[in-house]
Chain A
Amino acid sequence: MTTSPTPDALVIAQGLEKTFGTFRAVDGIDFRIAKGESFGFLGPNGAGKTSTMRMVACMSPFTGGSLSVLGMNPMTEGPQIRARLGLVPQEDTLDEELTVLDNLLIYGRYFDLPKKVIRERAAQLLDFAQLTERRDDKVEPLSGGMKRRLTIARSLISEPEVLILDEPTTGLDPQARHLLWDRLYRLKSQGVTLIITTHYMDEAEQLCDRLVVMDKGRIVAEGSPRALIAEHSTREVVELRFGIDQQAENASGLHDLAERVEVLPDRVLLYVHDGDATVAAVHSRGLTPESALVRRSTLEDVFLHLTGRTLVD
Chain B
Amino acid sequence: MAQLSSRGRHVGRPTWARALWAHGFFYSRVWKGSVTTSFLFPVLYLAAMGVGLGTLVDHHTHTVGGVRYLDFLAPGLLAGTILQVSVNESTYPVMARIKWIRSYWAMLATPLSVRDVLIGHLGWAVIRGVMVSSIFLGVMAVFGAVHSVLAVLVVPVAMLASLAFASPTTAFAATTSKENGFALLYRFGVIPLFLFSATFFPLGQLPTAIRYLAQLTPLLHAVNLIRGLTLGRLVVVQNLFDLAYLIGFALLGCALADRAFRKRLVV
- Quote the shortest CB–CB distance from A241 to chain B (angstroms): 45
What is the number of residues of chain B that contact chain A, defined by CB distance less than 8 Å?
Answer: 31
* B112 is an interface residue with CB less than 8 A from chain A: yes
**Chain A 90-120 interface mask (CB, 8 Å, partner B; 1/0):** 0111111110001001110111111001000
- Chain B residues contacting A155 (CB-CB under 8 Å) are 109
Within 8 A of A (CB), among B95-120: 101-103, 105-113
* A159 is an interface residue with CB less than 8 A from chain B: yes
The number of A-B residue pairs with CB atoms under 8 Å apart is 90
* A80 is an interface residue with CB less than 8 A from chain B: yes
- Chain A residues contacting B2 (CB-CB under 8 Å) are 112-114
Contact call A61/B18, Cβ cutoff below 8 A: no
Contact call B111/A93, Cβ cutoff below 8 A: no
Contact call A112/B25, Cβ cutoff below 8 A: no
Contact call B107/A110, Cβ cutoff below 8 A: yes
- Quote the shortest CB–CB distance from A94 to chain B (angstroms): 8
Docked complex Cα distance between A94 and B266 (Å): 20
Given contacts A79-B15, A96-B101, contact A59 B108 (CB under 8 A): yes
Contact call A83/B26, Cβ cutoff below 8 A: no
Docked complex Cα distance between A69 and B247 (Å): 41
Docked complex Cα distance between A110 and B105 (Å): 12
Within 8 A of A (CB), among B108-150: 108-113
Docked complex Cα distance between A158 and B19 (Å): 16
Docked complex Cα distance between A109 and B111 (Å): 10
Contact call A110/B110, Cβ cutoff below 8 A: yes
- Quote the shortest CB–CB distance from A10 to chain B (angstroms): 14
Contact call B22/A83, Cβ cutoff below 8 A: no
What is the number of residues of chain A that contact chain B, defined by CB distance less than 8 Å?
Answer: 37
- Quote the shortest CB–CB distance from A76 to chain B (angstroms): 12
Given contacts A60-B266, A110-B107, contact A159 B112 (CB under 8 A): no
Docked complex Cα distance between A82 and B112 (Å): 8
- A91 in complex: contacting residue of B8, B22, B102, CB < 8 Å: B102
Contact call B13/A78, Cβ cutoff below 8 A: no
Contact call B9/A80, Cβ cutoff below 8 A: yes
Given contacts A80-B111, A107-B110, contact A112 B105 (CB under 8 A): no
- Quote the shortest CB–CB distance from A173 to chain B (angstroms): 23
* B1 is an interface residue with CB less than 8 A from chain A: yes
* B21 is an interface residue with CB less than 8 A from chain A: yes
Q: A107-B110, A110-B112 are in contact. List 4 more A-B contacts (CB 8 A).
A: A85-B109, A95-B103, A97-B29, A106-B26
Docked complex Cα distance between A21 and B267 (Å): 11
Contact call B18/A110, Cβ cutoff below 8 A: yes
Contact call B113/A78, Cβ cutoff below 8 A: yes
